[in-house]
Structure 1
Amino acid sequence: MIDWAALTPTLIILGSAVLGVVFEAFIPRAARRGVQVVLSMVAVAAALVSVVWRWTVVKADGPTSVAMAPDGSTQVGTFVEDGAAVAFQAIILICALVALLVIADRTQTGEGSFAASAATQPGSTDERQATTANLQQTEVFPLVLFSLGGMLAFTSASDLLTLFVALEVLSLPLYVLTATARRRRALSQEAAMKYFVLGAFSSGFFLMGAAFLYGYSGSITFTGITAKVMTGTGMDMLLITGVTLVLVGLLFKVGAAPFHAWTPDTYQGAPTPITGYMAAGTKIAAFAAMLRFLYVIGTGVQWELTPVLWTIIILTMCIGTVMGLLQTDIKRMLAFSSIAHAGFILIGVSSFSQIGISATAFYLLAYGIASVGAFGIVTLVRETDAEGSILGEATNIEKWQGLGKTNPLLATCMTIFLLSFAGIPLTSGFIGKFAAFSAGVAAGGGVLVVLAVLASAATAFFYFRLITYMFFRDPVEGSETVASEGFSIVAIVTCAIITILLGIYPQPILDFLGEAAVFML
């Protein structure tokens, strides 16, 4: 028996992705981009509305398995619909909606962030011809929707096989999208290859862990494995090894050390709108899956896992902070910033408490919105040559000198996002860190919180360094901001407003996430 209504958000997104592929085949080239943009935006908005509807159902009826055996048993359940799943799906869709605005945007010259034809060899005659013909790589929109469908499934998967399939549906489109940058195409393709190879390794760890857990319990469902954990099988080493290996696969997706090596190169090489989308969506989905896996199965080996998690948290915060201080490229700086934030978020995850679920969810919302906005600004700050022609993105920090004088709106919004990353009061980042650190202290992780506060103070240095460049130095030649169709500006301003609102008046969202955590199955 399958409750198809519970799958409505995922079905809307994946169905729209398939429809987008059909449009690519049959709609005239000149009309494809407009159709794909409208289809993608409508699909995400409709999915968000359906998530709100499903929340009212969960609140009224409680959490349920989407698929059950005829006798009502949940042992066959591949998805669950509970408060945590619905809340994380809402957060993913909100971030995706603003990220799509950045992805769809083009400059005043009609140039987007994606290659005219991603299949051409960088520097080849075919590439020049495709660029001259002003071809549009509109396949990116169905790919984004497929990846988004995988993210939604990832948050509610309740067996290892479904979790793996959702992981691949999430990842494979991102491998392709990473290689589609319009400029620095060789760097983009190199980043995609690194991301793909390391992603394959992480999938291997995940599958090996799933095999160990199946050997331990004879089941791939979370409920079946948990039942064996409660009764005991005398094979605890299989359980510990399996949980650890599956956790490695999930830690790779959130960019936690020592599984972070893909993050700086991928963030730098990917098209910047995709970097923002990936920084927000992938982290949210992976942490949602990690919470479900650890809180349903991992509690059986909590004491054995705690030293491992503490080690990973400390290593992640240290690497993200120290390496971030050394960066001069903004995209690499934000990449190492994301690594440090993964360590902060893991403090809430490692609390193994209900408050840890809501704290993690709020932190991910705050970080996701700020990330999409920050990378949206990066797309609009460009280098120029001696003739004044607009080139690629000006990612070197020195190129951002005087941005506060040449474009106060972008500089102000970027400052808001950087202050949020730093955890300054009156921004959503402060509330997120406070909630996560409070959960850590309540669970006995005071040492971790002290280290996290010190790391936060250190990361604030490279955030404030960029703010200093923007507002306290004169503009330099070789960079300027570009006008666009306006989608990016709408997304950036929206993200800035949300960042401030969540910092000033976070209580309604905290109450909602706290209530959603209660309904976690």
Structure 2
Amino acid sequence: MTTPALPTTVDLMPLLPELVLTAGAFALLIVDVFLDASRRVVTHALSLLLLAVVLVMLACGAGGQGTVFHGMFVRDGMAEVAKMATVFFSGLSLVYAWTWLRERKLYVGEVPVLVLFATLGMMMLVSAGSLVMVYLGLELLALCSYALVALNRDDPLSTEAAMKYIVLGSIASGLLLYGMSLVYGATGTLELSAIHTAVDAAPDRTMLLTGVVFMVAGTAFKLGAAPFHMWLPDVYQGAPTPVTLFISAAPKIAAFGMAYRLLESGVGPLAEQWHLLLAGLAAASLVIGNLVALMQSNLKRMLAYSTVSHIGFLLLGLAGGTPTGYAAALFYALSYALMSAAAFGAIIVLSRQGFEADQIDDFKGLNARNPWQAGLVLCVMASLAGVPPFLGFWAKLVVLRAALGGDLLWLVILAVICAVIGAFYYLRVVKVMYFDEPEGEVHPPRSGRVLPVVFGVNALALLALGVAWSPILAWCQRAFA
């Protein structure tokens, strides 16, 4: 038996963005040791610069597409799109985080470093060509996310959220790992492309199908799909708001990439079985997410349950099971990440030290106090509700059309009904802003300009991209061509 040749520098070129991000993250970790609290802005600025460099490298195709480590790492069209999106939203979350965390004296140099390593985990996850790489990327992302949620150690709610996240996340990782071990036992290989080839000839069909069920369950947990959504409300509410913004945006794109790699690239020949599982998860997510969100008074918990419903829409595209459906699901993931960032960005912009603006009643009379901010929040809520011509409307329309193409008419009808129900709790926020009187102390507008400008661009992008959404969809479609 011959020993495989070691990869050369040329062979590692598709890994170039990941290598740059890894080297930069470790360098920042060392640099931060020599900085005092008054100079933390250096670490923050350098982390944003590093993410910008990686984003430009990905946009320019630096390193080229290909496979590394005998197929364990795959850089293709889907990976390029997902990586650019995850890097962008990681950087956006850091921009939102700086002022909020500094006001509450929670900012430490480890925050941007953890975000960088979490981004590296997401990039590895969407480029996984092996079950080993899937698990490695997933755990790197998860461990960094646990630490970020537990950032505010003096807050019992934050500590409780972190403990629940760790315990439930560990259970989900165990389910996923058990499913992978069953698939490996049934096919005799860890490589996803080899699993795809070996599925039809697998001697133990029962073991293989059981493994697929466990993998779907683990993936559903990472996406936040019902009934594996129990961690979402507590984590979204208890985590610092910029951390919630980060968790709600970029990791959802990475989780989509993981689902695509495991299901389509890995056990694609069993599509008839896992399409039914995804359709069931989509239906449960749409119903549970929208109905429970109706009863929430805390805005972060309401957005958590609305995330469950949005994951239901994302699963519509995956359940469709065609390249058109996968492109629609990726388009929805990108659109939702932008909408979610804007929704939590609104909470960050309106909050102050001692006032978190995380209750729906905190938005009462906002139009009378700040009409511009109220108009931006209106754009965000209208897009989340799927009101035309905002981006959210086109995202929903695209996945519904993909589900129709996959002969899922019953699920499309259910999704439309749930979308109408979901519009109620988004419009409730609009109602309290425009028709209710302000309550409590009136807080002055923010003195800084960076956060309001970033939030304004984020919110108005939902309207601008609602008019020019076709190029983004075409970009996603080329990823699966």
- Asked whether the two chains share a fold, i.e. TM above 0.5, the reply is yes
Describe how 1:120-135 pairs up with structure 2 within 5 A: none
Name the structure 1 match of 2:417: 454
Shift of the alpha carbon at 1:488? Answer: 2.2
Name the structure 1 match of 2:319: 350
1:503 aligns with 2:466: yes
Amino acid at match of 2:112: F
Shift of the alpha carbon at 1:11? Answer: 2.2
Describe how 1:281-292 pairs up with structure 2 within 5 A: 281-292=250-261
- Structure 1, residues 173-217: CA drift from partner, whole Å, max 9, x if none? 1101101138x7110010000000000000100110111011011
1:4 aligns with 2:20: no
Q: Tell me, what secondary structure is at the counterpart of 1:393?
A: coil
Shift of the alpha carbon at 1:45? Answer: 0.7
Aligned pair in 2 of structure 1 residues 160, 506: CA closer, same or farther (>3 Å)?
same
Describe how 1:39-438 pairs up with structure 2 within 5 A: 39-54=46-61, 57-58=64-65, 64-67=66-69, 76-106=70-100, 111-112=103-104, 115=106, 136-181=107-152, 185-230=155-200, 232-382=201-351, 390-438=353-401
Q: Tell me, what secondary structure is at the counterpart of 2:41?
A: helix
For 2:231 and 2:370, how far apart are their aligned partners in 1? 33
Q: Tell me, what secondary structure is at the counterpart of 1:174?
A: helix
Q: Tell me, what secondary structure is at the counterpart of 1:301?
A: helix
Residues 380 and 393, structure 1, Cα contact 8 Å, conserved in 2? no
Name the structure 2 match of 1:18: 26
Aligned pair in 2 of structure 1 residues 226, 484: CA closer, same or farther (>3 Å)?
farther
Higher relative contact order (CA 8 A, sep 6+): 1
Name the structure 1 match of 2:4: none
For 2:237 and 2:251, how far apart are their aligned partners in 1? 16
- Structure 1, residues 3-43: CA drift from partner, whole Å, max 9, x if none? 32212222232222212210122233322x11111111111
Residues 16 and 63, structure 2, Cα contact 8 Å, conserved in 1? no
- Structure 1, residues 289-315: CA drift from partner, whole Å, max 9, x if none? 101221122322122223322221111
For 1:56 and 1:498, how far apart are their aligned partners in 2? 31
TM-score when scaled to structure 1? Answer: 0.87
Residues 55 and 83, structure 1, Cα contact 8 Å, conserved in 2? no
1:468 aligns with 2:431: yes
Q: Tell me, what secondary structure is at the counterpart of 1:80?
A: strand
Amino acid at match of 1:400: F
1:488 aligns with 2:459: no
Amino acid at match of 1:15: A
For 1:469 and 1:150, how far apart are their aligned partners in 2? 40
Residues 321 and 458, structure 1, Cα contact 8 Å, conserved in 2? yes
For 2:449 and 2:268, how far apart are their aligned partners in 1? 48
Shift of the alpha carbon at 1:57? Answer: 4.1
Amino acid at match of 2:27: L
For 1:164 and 1:465, how far apart are their aligned partners in 2? 41
Q: Structure 2: which 5+ residue stretches go unaligned?
A: 1-6
- Structure 1, residues 128-158: CA drift from partner, whole Å, max 9, x if none? xxxxxxxx42211101111111111111111
Q: Structure 1: which 5+ residue stretches go unaligned?
A: 59-63, 68-75, 116-135, 384-389
Q: Tell me, what secondary structure is at the counterpart of 2:397?
A: helix
For 2:447 and 2:182, how far apart are their aligned partners in 1? 52
- Report how many aligned residue pairs link the two structures: 473
Name the structure 2 match of 1:124: none
Residues 15 and 63, structure 2, Cα contact 8 Å, conserved in 1? no
Aligned pair in 2 of structure 1 residues 138, 443: CA closer, same or farther (>3 Å)?
same
Name the structure 2 match of 1:122: none
For 1:341 and 1:225, how far apart are their aligned partners in 2? 30
Which deviates further from its counterpart, 296-305 or 476-485? 476-485
For 1:479 and 1:217, how far apart are their aligned partners in 2? 64
Aligned pair in 2 of structure 1 residues 463, 452: CA closer, same or farther (>3 Å)?
same
For 1:373 and 1:14, how far apart are their aligned partners in 2? 28
TM-score when scaled to structure 2? Answer: 0.94
Residues 92 and 285, structure 1, Cα contact 8 Å, conserved in 2? yes
Amino acid at match of 1:401: K
Amino acid at match of 1:275: T
For 2:17 and 2:216, how far apart are their aligned partners in 1? 26
Aligned pair in 2 of structure 1 residues 287, 484: CA closer, same or farther (>3 Å)?
farther
For 2:387 and 2:18, how far apart are their aligned partners in 1? 36
